[in-house]
Chains A and B, each alone.
Chain A
Amino acid sequence: MNTVKNSLKDISRYPSAIAGVIIIFLLVLLSIYAVISIPYDKAITMWRGGEEFWKANPKFAPPAWSNLFTSKKLPESFHVDTADGTMSKVVTSTGDDTSNVTISYSFNFEADDYPQDLIIYFTTTFEQKQPFASVSLFTPTGQEIRVADTGVAQQQTLRFSQESRMVNRYSNVPVMTGMFSDPKDPPHAPLKGTYKLVITGTTFEKDSTFDAEFVFLGQVYGLAGTDMSRRDLMIPLLWGAPVALGFGLLASLGTLILTMIIAAIGAWYGGWVDSLIQRITEINLVLPFLPILIMVGTFFSRSIWIIMGTAVLLNIFTGQIKSYRAIFMQVRESMYIEAARAYGASDLRIIFRYLVPRMIPLLLPGLVSAVPSFVFLEATLAVLGLGDPVLPTWGKVIDDAYTNGALYKGYYYWILEPAVLLMITGLGFSMLGFALDRIFNPKLREM
C-alpha cells in the first residue's frame, strides 16, 4: 500500500505526468460516452450507411463552430419534416375525396454564402391518382420563385438545383446563387432575411396522404462536420477513441506480457531454449516490420484483430526481450528463488509465480510508453488504405480526407480533427510513460 502511495506522490511531482493522466482520463470518458451514446451496431450501420442514410447532411461541410473564427458566415444545415411535426401541414377537404394540403415553413437566412442545395423529399400514399404539388419559395423582398409544379409519386425527390425550370431561369449563375440573391443586384452576396417555403398539394383520393421533408443543405454542419459521403464526422471521432485506446492498450499489454514470459522462460531454462530465443530475436531484426504488416493487410485480412496479432508477434522478439532477460538472470540467483526450488516448486511455477510477478512493477512505464506507437500504427495502416473495413477510426478519417484531396481543397477541419485527437492521445500516453520511466528507473531520476 505504501509503495502505491509513494508512487502516486512521485507522479504528482511531474506536471507532465499529471497532464498525461488527465488526458487519458478524458479519453476514457470520451470512449465511455461514445459506446453508450452510439452503440456499436448503430455506429457501424451509420458509418457504413450510404447517401440514403445521410441525405439530410451537406457534403464536405466544416463544423458549425468554424463560423466563429471566420468573418464570412456560412449557412448552417437543417431539415424539417411534416411527418414528425417540425414543419406545419394544414389539410382542408374540398369534398369529392379531394383535399388541399398546405405546407409552409419560414426560415431566417443570415449567412454570407449560398447553401449547397435545397431538397424536398415527398412521401405520399395513393391507390391510383397521384397527388399534385406546387412548390414556391418567397424571398425576403416578397418575390415568389415558383420552383416546380409536379405530380408526386410515392417517393419523390425534388432537388432545387437540378429542377429544369430553375436551371433555365438562372442560366448564367448556379441555381442557389440566383435564388438567394437580390434580383436587382448583381449576384455577389446573398440576400439576408426571412425566406418562406410554401408547398401546396392536392390529393385526389380519400385515404391519400401527403408528407414532405425539407432539407436545407448549408455549408457547415454539427459539431464535427461531414465528409465526402455526407457522413457526420462525429461518429468516427467519437468511436475512434475506444478503438484507439483498445487497440493501443491491448497490443501494448499483449506485447509486454508475452515478451516477459518468453524472457523469463529463456532465462530460467537457459541452454538451447535461451539460445533459440536469441536466434529468433536476430531473425526478427532482419524481418521488415511495416512491410509484413502491409502484406498481411493486403493479402490476408484487414481486420483490426489480425493486424494487432501480427504486430504483437513481430514486437515480442526485439531488444526489449534482452533487457528483460538480463534482469531475470539477476533475479534467478535470489534467495527466494532458491527457497522455492528447495521446497520443490516446478519450473513453470517458479516462472509464473516468482519470476514474472517480480517484474510487474517494471512493466508499467513500458506499457504506457508503448501505447502511442500502436495507436499511430493503426493510423499508419489506415492511411495506407489498410484500415479495418468496418470500424470508424481516426486513421480512416485521415485516409478519407487525404484521398479526397482535403488539403488541396482546403477542407482542413477534416484532417485536423482526427489528427489533433491522435496527437493528444499520443502525447497523453507518452508524457505519462516518460514520467513513469523516470520514477521507476531511479538512475534516470536525477538526470
Chain B
Amino acid sequence: MATEVQTISAPVKKNGTSTVARVFRYTAVRAITLFITVVIAIYMTILIANMGGYVDQMMRGQVTEQINMAMAANPAYKSMSPDTRKQLAQQQIDLEIERLGLNKPLAVRTANYLINAITLNLGRAQNMVSDTGSKNVKNILLERMPWTLLLLGISELLLFFVSLFLALSLSRQYGSFWDKLVIALTPTSSAPAWFYGIFLILIFAAWIRILPFGGLVSAPPPKTTLLYALSLLQHMILPALSLFLSGLFLNIYSWRTFFLIYSSEDYVDMAKAKGLTGGDIEKRYILRPTLPTIITTFALTLIGVWGGAIVTETIFQWPGLGNMLYKAIGLYDTPVIVGDTIIYAYLLAITVFVLDFVYVLVDPRVKLGEGV
C-alpha cells in the first residue's frame, strides 16, 4: 500500500495546474480511497464476526438456555404455575435479545455496527467485562492496551534497531564468519514467536527455574511501585525474548541483503574512488536512499504493536490486546472484535497516508501525485 504513490495518483494535467492544486487533489483522492478501504475492510470483519448471521442463532440459543436454566434453578419461581413461568421466561428472553440487538435484521445491525465503528463509538461489549467491571469496549481496550504496548513496544523496537544496526555492520564485512552465521541461522525464523516461547519456558521456567512461567506480576502483587516494576520486568523477559528471537535472524538477513544491493550501486563505487571514509559513504550514499524503506518498516512495526501477539500473549498469560481479542472471539463478542480491528485499521490508514508526505520530505526525487 505504501509504495503505491504513483499508481493511485489522480490524473494531472502537465501544464497549467499549480503544485498546490496538484498536492491538494492528490491528498483528497488518497484520503478518500483510504477511507473507503477501511470502511470495506471493517464491514467484512463485522460480517465475519457474525458468520453471516450464524453466530446470532448461536447467541439466541445461548440466551434462551441460560434464562431457562436460571428460572429452573431459582426456588422463588417454584410456586408459579408452569404457564406463568413460561411467560416470564419468554419476557426475559425477549428483553435480553433486545438488549443484544438480536431482534433487528442482520443488515440493519451490521450497518449500525459499521457506523458506530467508523465514528469510533465503540459501544458496550456483549459478554466481556473489564477487570474493573466495566462493559464499555473503550474501557476493556484501554485496560489491556498498556501491557501490550509495553511488551510488544519493547520487543519490536529492540528487534528493529538491533537488526538494523547488526545488518549495517554485516553488510560492511560481507562474507565474514558472522555474515555466514546469520545466513545459516535465517531459516530459524520460520518458527513463530510462541514456539520459541515454549522452549524458553521449558528452559528458564521449568528447568533452571529462574524466571516465571507467565503472568504479568507475581502473586500477590508487590506493594511498592519499584518492586512492582521489577516483578513486571521479570515476567516480561521471556515473552519479549521469544518475540525478539523469532524475528531476529530473518530481519538481519533481509536488511543486510537490502543494504548490500544499495552498496553495489555505481555512485557508491564513485564515492569510494573519491576516497570518502566508510562512515561517510554509509550515511550519505547507503542510508539516505534506503531511508524511505527504513521509515516504512519502522512505521508498520509501530502499528503492528497494536495488534498484540495473540498466541504469545496466550501462552504467557500476558493480559494484552492479543489475549483479549482471543477471549472476545471465544465469547462471540462482536463489539470488542470490531473495536479492536477499527483502531488497527485507522492507525494503518493514517500511517500510510502520512508516509506519502514523509517520502517527499526524505527523498527529493518523489513528488506527490506526479506520475513518473
Contacts and interface: CB of A to CB of B under 8 A. Distances in A.
The secondary-structure label for the interface of chain B is helix
Contact of B58 (A299, A415, A427): A299
Interface in A399-414: 402, 407-408, 410, 412
A275 to B, nearest CB: 8
A295 interface: yes
B141 interface: no
Given A299-B55, A299-B332, A287 B190 contact: no
B268 interface: no
Interface in B1-60: 1, 4, 7, 37-38, 40-42, 44-45, 48-49, 51, 54-55, 58
Contact of A288 (B54, B202, B206, B341): B341
B42 to A, nearest CB: 8
A215 interface: no
A285 B45 CA distance: 12
A380 B194 contact: yes
Given A383-B315, A419-B198, A295 B48 contact: yes
B186 A434 contact: yes
Given A292-B45, A298-B329, A380-B311, A285 B348 contact: yes
A295 B337 contact: yes
Interface string A298-309: 111000000000
B202 A412 contact: yes
Interface string A373-391: 1001001100110000000
Contacts, number: 126
Contacts of B349: 286
B337 A383 contact: no
Nearest to B51: A299
Nearest to B58: A299
B195 A423 contact: yes
B96 to A, nearest CB: 20
Contacts of A358: none
B1 A285 contact: yes
B305 to A, nearest CB: 14
A288 B329 contact: no
Nearest to B188: A427
A290 interface: yes
Contacts of B345: 286
A267 B184 CA distance: 36
Nearest to A433: B187
Nearest to A290: B310
B330 A298 contact: yes
B359 interface: no
Interface string A347-372: 00000000000000000000000001
A382 B37 CA distance: 32
A346 B43 CA distance: 37
A379 to B, nearest CB: 8
Contacts of B194: 380, 383
Contacts of A430: 186-187, 189-190
B45 A288 contact: yes
Nearest to A370: B190
Contacts of B298: none
Given A279-B37, A286-B41, A384 B310 contact: yes
B48 A376 contact: no
B192 A376 contact: yes
Nearest to A381: B311
B310 A278 contact: no
Given A283-B41, A384-B311, A408-B206, 12 more contacts: A286-B37, A286-B349, A291-B325, A292-B45, A295-B337, A296-B51, A299-B51, A383-B314, A407-B205, A412-B202, A430-B189, A447-B261
Interface of A: 16, 278-279, 281-288, 290-292, 294-296, 298-300, 372-373, 376, 379-380, 383-384, 398, 402, 407-408, 410, 412, 415-416, 419, 422-423, 426-427, 429-431, 434, 443-444, 447
17 contacts: A278-B4, A279-B37, A283-B37, A283-B41, A285-B348, A286-B345, A286-B348, A288-B307, A372-B191, A376-B195, A384-B310, A384-B311, A398-B198, A402-B198, A419-B199, A422-B195, A430-B189
